[in-house]
Amino acid sequence: MTMPGTLRIGLSRGRFEMVEFFRDKGAVIFTFSFPALLMLMLGGIYDEPSGGDVKLSQVFAASIAASAVVSTSFVNLGGRIAADRDDGSLKRLRGTPMPVAAYFIGKTVQVLLISLAELVLMLGLAMALYDLALPNTVVQWGRLLGFFVLGVICWSLLGIAASSLSRSAKTSAVATLVPYTLLGFVSGVYIVPMGLPPVMEQIGALFPLKWLAQGFRSALLPDSMAAYEAAGTWESGRVALVLGLWAVAGLVLCLTTFRWRDERTR
């Protein structure tokens, strides 16, 4: 089948994935409410000045907006693929004439749209509650959109790979939600970057959440706040490089570990 046909089927599959997602009220509520509740809680606790005219609540809001993207592209995607494998959906799809690529195109459409909706929600809350301003320069908009796309690609690939670590849908949280939550602490999401102990800072720097959060801060906070980062600068080039390298690593993991069916059914 030609690529245009595969793409058409994939986009059609994407519509199906969106309908299926919004029919699962539990998944919808968790996906959109968990990062929002974190933002409300941390922003409400830490509302004092961070540097200049910037409040800690605005720093948290920018970081949590980044982690919200991870929630939709890593936690949600990894869990849903594990569920598809657990109930036999993947096995049945593998036996149909539908191109393999179409399934992943459909998942990509779903993740991009849900992640974009999540980002709009987070930014709306941050603007309404904490006076966080949207980017006001082309450079900042470029950072926000560029890091958003890189983050979705990187974390979606890692989510697909993580789905293979789950033996069932019930245990998928161990492979996705647990590392997502733990990384939030060492990556300067739940703790402001300037408050991280050196050891936690070094551990967080090994993983892409730290860099995605830093990238979002560079897009949503004044450039004067770069002085409070570990390197004293936004390191935009390094952020893009690290996210790109993790995306490559995620792709390799997907190609080597992805399973179409539960091993227990073999």
Band (4; pLDDT cuts 50, 70, 90): low
Q: Is the pLDDT of residue 1 over 60?
A: no
Q: Is the pLDDT of residue 175 over 60?
A: yes
Identify which of 73, 100, 221 has the alpha carbon closest to the alpha carbon of residue 159. 73
Provide the Cα torsion 108, 39, 197, 195; round to 10°. 130
CB-CB contact of 144 with 219 (8 Å): yes
* Residue ranges making up the domain that contains 176: 3-265
Q: Is the pLDDT of residue 112 over 90?
A: yes
pTM of model > 0.95: no
Looking at residue 203, what is its pLDDT?
94
Looking at residue 209, what is its pLDDT?
96
Comparing 3 with 142, which gets the higher pLDDT? 142
Distance (Å, rounded) from C-alpha 237 to C-alpha 135?
A: 18
How does the average pLDDT of the chain come out, rounded? 87
- In the chain, the number of structural domains is 1
Residues 6+ apart with CB under 8 A from 152: 69, 73, 111, 112, 115
| Across 219-245, average pLDDT | 93
Looking at residue 66, what is its pLDDT?
95
